[in-house]
Amino acid sequence: MPGSARRIGAGSVAASTLMLLVAFGFGPVLPVLASGPRPAGLFLPGPPPGRTGSVHRMPFAPPTVTFYGRGYGHGLGLSQYGARGRALAGQTAPTILAHYYQGTTLATISAASPVRVLVLSPTKATSAKPIVLHGRGAPFTIDGVSGSFPVGARVTIWPSGSGFAIRVTSTSGTVLLTRTTAAADLRLRSGADPGRIEVDTKPVADDTYRGVIRVLNTSSGAIAVNEVGLDLYLRGVVPAEMPASWPTEALKAQAIAARSYAEEHVHVGSGSYDLFDDTRSQVYHGSLGEVTASTAAISATAGQVLKSGSAIINALYHSADGGATEDNENVYTSATGQIVSGPLSYLRGSSDRDPHGVSYDSSSPHAIWHTATYTWAQLSVVFATDSRTNVGALTSLDLTDKGVSGRPIKVVLAGSLGTKTVSAEIFRQVFNTGSPAADPYMWSTLVDTTPIP
């Protein structure tokens, strides 16, 4: 059912009756608006029937606008802070997951199923600035080369002809291997635990991996892909996505959700990789990001995934839902907020509050937030920074088209140049980009112009 609706404007209105409509919220512990979107503001009456004369008009929009919101992220699937709150309330991982992914069942697959993660984006390597890797922890091997290389050996790779040139040197500087023409597809295999491969060229500290590092040439440059077993991959994901100090049942829920998400995205046999190592997929910090408590949660749920029917689900998750999750089709819309995807049975929005009405994500720093306060002229400048939202001098904003959680699906902006409609996410992105850098962010699309209960 729709949540509260809100439309605000910079102009004035009149009506034939005096009306003050009350906003309602979403959730079983709050009144639910049964009659759809509502106007907002105080309307003054016109002249009595049979009389003429001008209608007195009173501006109903305030001179300034503050956006109030709840939560952080897209609001689909598991709320990480919500899972924490539910675990602290005594819920187990299966119970937590059953709430966020409706109608799903637990199944088990091989914990060693292979995944391929892009860990080095296309890089224009040269002989003067090659791709640099090191073997760490144990002797390692290179496919197509006999024998192994000692711990600490340095591997440099750069394009040569249609393939790569490769050089391996020991820690003392002794050249162990030189090939001026090698294949355009090289695999370095870490030795037995604690064997690792370090991708020194990666511009962050978390650059060391279990399993295989595959270096291959693409039209955009050389890339590096970590090929590793599913649950070993999760060891670098779960603590990056959820603090290891959180309750065990929350960590287990995160492990199962992350495993399901990864496996659903695997497409072995096509392409060079399945997943990114950042928020385009799941954050993955390799072996240097591993934490004992998270590893224990992964081991305790070894191979467990969520299925809808016979298919592993696309287990989307986010930081905090603000008290309610959303239907998938209301979030992934066109740029103008049109519904373009079908509903997924396991990504249905629902209230995420305890029996007392408190949101399970209440410990999140973004459980409740608000932006700075802006004049209409200032907002005009903000939204003029993007052609999709530029309507000149902004006169009104319509946030009345809402999903089941109260999140606007689309926003209508009206101004001196006309009217434009954008998805709530585009609205949020443009606001965050166009507003002053020091101003607070709009952290989610669960937003309104009055505080959200």
CB-based contacts of 207, cutoff 8 Å, min separation 6: 119, 198, 199, 200, 286, 288
Q: Are 420 and 413 in contact (CB under 8 A)?
A: yes
CB-based contacts of 427, cutoff 8 Å, min separation 6: 389, 408, 411, 413, 445
The helix or strand, by DSSP H or E, that contains position 86, with its residue range, turns out to be: helix 80-88
pLDDT of residue 161: 86
Q: Are 106 and 303 in contact (CB under 8 A)?
A: no
pLDDT of residue 180: 85
One-letter amino acid of 291: V
CA–chain centroid gap for 360, Å, is 19
Tell me which residue of 133, 231, 237, 232 sits closest to 189, measured CA to CA.
133
φ/ψ (deg, to 5) at 60: -105, -10
pLDDT of residue 61: 63
Tell me which residue of 171, 64, 116, 68 sits closest to 445, measured CA to CA.
68
Integer Cα distance of 251 and 234 in angstroms:
11
Give the DSSP letter of residue 229.
E
- State pLDDT tens for residues 108-140: 999 999 999 999 999 999 999 999 999 999 999
Q: E strands within 144-277?
A: 154-160, 163-169, 175-182, 185-189, 196-199, 208-209, 212-218, 221-229, 275-276
- State pLDDT tens for residues 398-431: 999 999 999 999 999 999 999 999 999 999 999 9
Q: Where are the alpha helices (DSSP H) in 206-307?
A: 230-235, 238-241, 248-265, 292-300
What residues of the chain score a pLDDT lower than 70?
A: 1-61
The side-by-side arrangement of strands in the sheet containing 368-375 is: 368-375, 64-70, 447-448
